Amino acid sequence: MRIDIVTIFPEFFDVLDLSLLGKARQSGLIELGVHNLRDSTHDRHHSVDDTPYGGGAGMVMKAEPWGAALDAILGEVPTEASAPVPDDGPILIFPSPAGDQFTQAMARELSLEQHLVFGCGRYEGIDQRVVDHYEARGRVRLVSLGDYVLNGGEVAVMAMIEAIGRLIPGVVGNPASLIEESHEDGLLEYPSYTKPSTWRGLDVPPVLLSGNHGAISAWRREQQLERTERVRPDLLAEGLQPPANAKPSTSPRR
């Protein structure tokens, strides 16, 4: 997968050299390009923002630097808006508090793409015509990390790249560990334990030391249901999702 990021804080993404994603880049599973928006400005101050039309607090990011930066990454996009919008090719993703909620299902969907381009806004946001221009010429998505306000898109992009990147086959060493995760089957994960079997007077649940795998799976499922009921009953309302590797069920959904 090719990932491009446009931002005024390119060093923010240096951390992507580390850990799993760092290895995935070395192995070629993920190709990453980080672009400084100011490199697409031509004035002495490399200015990327200006006052909002209609007044109001704060500054808005100018369209021209974004147009220059994204055209350079997306390659020639059809000039006239009437051209059919290709349903393949890169997806341009703008993090925004006004975007669609980012979820595990969206992460799985985007992990199947060949080329993701992330545009990190700052200030009060990006001139709306940037989104309108590229929406008329290709696939554009506004995505929100959650219902709270950040100062810019970088943190959201970091979270999305981690959630998407680890679903690319080969990035996570043992793909089995991807199955039994919160949100993968619509349930929160069960509690985990490791040695010692007693710590500060707290014992590991005996069933986990029993070697009885049937009993252990039943206990873990029970823990998932109890925890989800208690912490995220909304997930139960959504109905359980079949685990990613589940065979499509022929029986009508109850």
Give residues in contact with ligand JD8 (CB under 6 A).
95-97, 99, 121-122, 124-125, 144-146, 148-153, 156
Q: How far apart are CA 127 and CA 28, in angstroms?
A: 35
| CB closer to ligand JD8, 124 vs 229 | 124
| CB closer to ligand JD8, 53 vs 148 | 148
Q: How far apart are CA 96 and CA 122, in angstroms?
A: 10
| CB closer to ligand JD8, 74 vs 150 | 150
Shortest spacing between CB 163 and ligand JD8, in angstroms: 13
Distance linking the first and last C-alpha atoms of the chain: 37
**Residue 3, beta-bridge partner list:** 32, 116
Shortest spacing between CB 134 and ligand JD8, in angstroms: 16
| CB closer to ligand JD8, 7 vs 228 | 7
Chain length of the chain: 254
Shortest spacing between CB 23 and ligand JD8, in angstroms: 26
Q: How far apart are CA 163 and CA 105, in angstroms?
A: 10
Shortest spacing between CB 92 and ligand JD8, in angstroms: 14
Q: How far apart are CA 14 and CA 25, in angstroms?
A: 12
- Phi/psi for 95 (5° steps) reads -65, 140
Shortest spacing between CB 133 and ligand JD8, in angstroms: 18
Shortest spacing between CB 46 and ligand JD8, in angstroms: 19
Q: Is 72 left (phi over 0), alpha (psi -120 to 50) or beta?
A: alpha
Strands 202-203 and 198-199: antiparallel
Q: How far apart are CA 35 and CA 69, in angstroms?
A: 8
Strands 49-50 and 60-61: antiparallel
| CB closer to ligand JD8, 124 vs 222 | 124
